[in-house]
Amino acid sequence: MAAKPQLSEKLTLKFAQFLEYTPPSRLNMNLRRLLMNYLICCNDAHGFNMDDLLLDLASLMELLDVAGEEMRQQVK
């Protein structure tokens, strides 16, 4: 079984700092809007692997959903 990647302390701190100044829910919504507007404008005229982009963005959006929910729970 492959080892899971470990985040360095520096990278963990950078993620925490990023999430402190960039609300995950707002970023998530903006990314979704960007993606939808892009797809509407391009209408399949893109020259790269859209499957990879969609998979990566979906994973990022799921991460942002979890981060946003955890941050909301901490505020309560």
pTM for this entry: 0.58
d(CA 32, CA 47): 20
Q: How many helices (H) and strands (E) does the chain have?
A: 3, 0
Average pLDDT over residues 15-39: 86
Helical axes 50-75 vs 24-42, angle rounded to 10°: 160
pLDDT at 28 over 80: yes
d(CA 39, CA 32): 11
Looking at residue 35, its pLDDT comes to: 82
Residue type, 18: F
Which residue carries 């892009």 as its tokens?
A: 38
pLDDT at 12 over 80: yes
Q: Which positions ≥6 away from 32 have C-beta within 8 Å? A: 61
